[in-house]
Amino acid sequence: MADQAKRQGPVFRRVVTGHDANGTSIIWMDAEATNQKFPDEKVSSTLMWSTDRSPTGFLGGEDEGARILGSAPPAGGSRFTMMEFLPGNVVHGTHRTDTVDYVICISGEIDMFLDETRFVTLRPGDVLIQRGTYHAWANRGSVACRLAVVLLDAVPKREGSVSGLVSAR
């Protein structure tokens, strides 16, 4: 795993709305998202927000983007990250989470492998709905690929799936 303290990841601005004491809409946060982890030297994950349940609340005062999470969202909740894969990232084998994932390709291209031979290439504007399948990511292009990724906790729970504070790598 890359040295978490020294590595500089991509910059993502995070704007979070809220309410003041009178119930008026406000900008609660407007700053660079800094909760980053680096599964390897060519992959970064920046947590933007998470929730503990659905439906979730929107009146709390916790920065739910500052939590320490594994690859999966909290039980019954969600996890929203911005991921960046640099060209030539190493594929570490497939993994799965017991989640339904919404993956939006923002820039670059990436191949999502289901096994060693079956894959699909995502390009800017493409949306992938992933339903608890084993998968791996490979950027075989020449520019960084950025993905917006939302994971929703789902059932059934299966042995061998990544869960809790465990990361896929």
Q: Per the confidence metrics, is the pTM higher than 0.85?
A: yes
pLDDT at 91: 87
Q: Where are the domains of the chain?
A: 13-153
Cβ proximity of 99 and 73 under 8 Å: yes
What is the residue-level pLDDT of the chain in tens, covering all 169 positions? 445 556 789 999 999 999 999 999 999 999 999 999 999 999 999 999 999 999 999 999 999 999 999 999 999 999 999 999 999 998 888 999 999 999 999 999 999 999 767 899 999 999 999 999 999 999 999 999 999 999 999 999 999 888 776 666 5
pLDDT at 165: 63
Instruction: Determine the CATH number of domain 13-153.
Output: 2.60.120.10
Cβ proximity of 117 and 96 under 8 Å: no
> Residue 9: which of 40, 31, 30 has the closest Cα?
40
- Measured from the Cβ of residue 96, the count of other Cβ atoms closer than 10 Å reads 18
Cβ proximity of 14 and 34 under 8 Å: no
Residue 8 neighbours by CB under 8 Å, 6+ apart: none
Q: Residue 35 corresponds to which tokens in the numbers above?
A: 């909760």
